[in-house]
Each structure stands twice: as C-alpha cells, then as structure tokens.
Structure 1
Amino acid sequence: MKSTRRYKPLYKDDKTVLLSFTNLAIFISSLPLGGFIFCVIWSLLFNFTESTSTHCHVTNYLPSISAAVGSYSPQKYIWRICIAIHSAPRYLVAYMYYSIVHYSLFIFMLNLVEVSSLIGLTFISSTENHTLHALNFALFIITGSVGMTSASNFSYKSRKIKNIMKYINLISIGLAIFFYYKHNWFCEPGIYTLFALSEYVVVLTNIAFHFQAYHDFKDYDIILINRLSLAQS
C-alpha cells in the first residue's frame, strides 16, 4: 500500500503502525552483509590456520564461506542469528514482488525456495549432515541464479544494478566451481584462496541484487492496522 506520510517513515497511533519499506530493506540486507563480514574477519584473526587448511595441505589465505560461517564459535552463532532474523522479511518481499510487480508464480516459488534453502544450509552444517547441507546449498545456488535471470525489473535504477549483479554472480559461480575442482585435482597453493574469493563475490552480489528492492519499493510502506479499532470507529 502506498504511503500518504512520506515525511514520517515510522508512524504509530492506536489504530495503525506504519514502517518505511526503505528502512526495512536496509535492515534486511545489513544482517547477512554484517554477519558475513564479521565471520570472515573473525576467522582470519582467531581461526586462521584451521579455517584455511584443506586436505591438500598447501598455502591458502582465505577461509571458505562454510568454514567462516559454520565451523567455529562465535561465527556460526552470529551467522545463524543474522539469517534467522532476516528471513521472515525476505518472504514478505517475495510476496510483494508477486502481488505488486506481478512476478510469475514460478519466480515467486523460486524466491521462497531460495530463502528456505539458505536457512537450511545455515542451520544444517556439513559436519552434522553433509547430504542435507549439500542439497540446500545446491538449491540456494540454482534458485538464486535462475531467479536472477528470470525476474523482470521494476525501476530503472534497480534494472541497471540487478543486471550488473546478475552477470557478476553467474561468472563468480563458474569461477568458484573451476577453482574448487582445480584445487582438489592439483592441490596448487593459493587456488583455494581464489575459490573462497569467488564464493565471497557470489554472496555479496546476491545481497546487492536483493537489496534493489530498496529502489523497487521506495514509494511503499508497510502498514499494520487494528481492524477492531477501525470497525468501531
């Protein structure tokens, strides 16, 4: 619903609560972004040796995402909290694209599966259940990539940035796959670092892509209405 109170992003009385969507978009994106940056930096500072080591026992300088966010404390708890809190609004945003921008049911379902699989791979680590973790990871990558390439664009600014993020994301996925198998086949020093760096770009471009909801719905606010109060007025 479009807001009639753009001068007041947060409005509240006994009947309604109004929240600016742009503020919500910033909040949603800052959680995985902040959590990701914290986990990588903390792992480099306090878990460098174990987070960068692999079965090849060659020199590496960056931890993989799974090592940075899922293997050590407090990183894994910070990451889980960030993903858990940001997930509910992500479902809402998916529905907004479906109902307002008129995304197809197929894209809507892709968005739901993408968020759900992100929750799954976050809370089911590879050490706890490798099969389920790998399945959720595959679903996240596939639905995220297909969703990026299938979605139509709403605003002009969003269209430009989404297209850039989409291509960088797809290229980074290809590079991550290449470096992953090159590392496992040849055990060359530094290759796993390039794999980890490619993973980082995949995550960051995914966050940047979805943040464009900020521009797509900049004229919208979320309103909670006390229906009983309205009926009595």
Structure 2
Amino acid sequence: MYSEDTMDKASLEQVSLRLSIRRLSTVVLTIPMGAMIACFVSAHIHHEDINHTWCPVYNFIPSVSAITGVSPERYLWRLCMSAHLVPRCLIAAVCYNHFTRLLDGLTLPSPSVSPTAVHEKAFSLFLFSCFVYMVVSLAAEREAFPAMTPSQRSSHRWKAFVAVLYVSLIIGLLYYFWKHRFYCEELAFTWFSFCEYGICACIMVYHLLVIYDIPEFWLTVGVPLPAAANGISAPLKVD
C-alpha cells in the first residue's frame, strides 16, 4: 500500500475515490454522537414525558432511552443509526483484521421502545460485551508489543484510562439505578442518566483510539491496473 504522496500522477488518475479509514471513522463517530446530542437538546420540548418515571421524584437529566423513545427524536435516532451501520461494519472488519494480526504470532440492536425486560437484557449484554472488548484489546496489545514505542505506550494508557472510567461509570449506573428503583431517591435517576451518557461517550472515544492505532489504510475505488505478461498486475509507479 502506497501513500498518496508517493503515487505517480498517472496512477492517481485511474482512481475514482480514495478515502482514509481514519477520517471515515471520525465521521462515523460523529453520527451517533451528534444524534445523541440533537435528541438530548430537542427532546426537552417533552420535558415532562422524558423526565417522568414510575417514581414521582424530581429529575432533570433524562436517560438515553427516554430521549430516543419520543417522537420525532426516535426517527432521527433510527435514521442516524441506520446511516452509520454500513461504514461501521467496514471499520469493524478492519479492526478485526488488525487484532487478528496482533495475535497471529502468539450491535444486535434493541430499540428503546421494545419491552422493558428485553431492552434491559439487551442493554446489559451490550455493556458487558463492550467491557470484554476493552479488556481483550488491551491484553492483546500488551502481548503483541512487550516493548512499546512512546506513542503506543501513550495510546495504551489513554485506552486503559477510558476502560477504568467506563467500569466506574457502570458501577455508578448500577448504584443509582438501585437507589431509584428501591428507594425512589430524588435525583437518583438524574445521576443514573449522567452515568449512561458517560458510558456512551467512553465507548465512542475508545473506538476512536483503537482506530488511530491501526496503520493508515485507504478505501480505494478505481480502474484495475493493466496486467503484465505474467498475469500479475503491474505495481503502482512511484517517484
């Protein structure tokens, strides 16, 4: 794989599209993040509905399920989730191959309007899967790179920090859920929602940190290079 700077102009003219996987990942990350922020801001026109729980106590931060479960915000959320599904699958394949290479030498989505029991189980499975992913990817890095470069060490520490913060927020989430469910404590659901938003942010940031550890790959669409006499495509010209 050649960088754009080293490609000959004639070779570049045969390419219709070149897209950096890192840039694509950054754009894909902004879709759910932007949708969540937009739903949070606009859903406050339904202030009473999104902050109402079976416990009649005061809350001022709605949960993610609440802001994505009212209309028209639910349609915006579904549209954004659908829009980022295909590129996310591509990025997942890149990450899978990256971690497979590291170890070589050694989301069913659940809508917020589904039945409560199903939604709770799907959400719990999602949180656990993300935790396992973080732990396994960190362990894979430690095994693959016993002597890390300064940039690798810095990235590893940032990911470890995000993973610890993620676990701390899950503990806070469970604690305030318990406070709200069994004691109807005022503002308990607000803190539960705060932890929920923090968890979503941690997952997105961790994904972004992982993708920036992967070598610079490019998604390229173009005319195939002419084959040589032996049937093998001629290499790209370089200066």
Normalising by structure 2, report the TM-score.
Answer: 0.78
Change (3 A) 1:78 1:129: same
- The 5-angstrom pairing of residues 77-96 of structure 1 reads 77-96=75-94
Q: Matched residues in 1 for 2:88 and 2:154: separation? A: 21
SS in structure 2 of the partner of residue 168 of structure 1: helix
Query: Could you say which residue in structure 1 is the equivalent of 2:149?
Result: none
Higher relative contact order structure (alpha carbons within 8 Å, sequence separation ≥ 6): 2
Tell me how far 1:35 sits from its aligned partner: 0.7
- The 5-angstrom pairing of residues 115-134 of structure 1 reads 116-117=107-108, 120-121=109-110, 124-126=111-113, 128-134=114-120
- The 5-angstrom pairing of residues 12-51 of structure 1 reads 13-44=13-44, 46-51=45-50
Tell me how far 1:68 sits from its aligned partner: 1.1
Q: Matched residues in 2 for 1:149 and 1:164: separation? A: 12
2:95 and 2:211 in contact (8 A); partners too: no
Change (3 A) 1:139 1:88: farther
Q: Matched residues in 2 for 1:129 and 1:12: separation? A: 53
Alignment-mate amino acid for residue 94 of structure 1: A
1:63 and 1:196 in contact (8 A); partners too: yes
Q: Matched residues in 2 for 1:42 and 1:159: separation? A: 37
For residue 74 of structure 1, the aligned residue among 65, 72, 75 is 72
String of CA shifts for 1:76-105, please: whole Å, max 9, x gaps. 111112222222222222221222342669
String of CA shifts for 1:206-227, please: whole Å, max 9, x gaps. 1100011442136222223444
User: Matched residues, percent identical?
Assistant: 23
Higher mean C-alpha deviation, range 53-62 or range 12-21: 12-21
Normalising by structure 1, report the TM-score.
Answer: 0.80
2:22 and 2:211 in contact (8 A); partners too: yes
Q: Which runs of 5+ in 1 are unaligned?
A: 106-115
RMSD: 2.7
Query: Could you say which residue in structure 2 is the equivalent of 1:159?
Result: 156
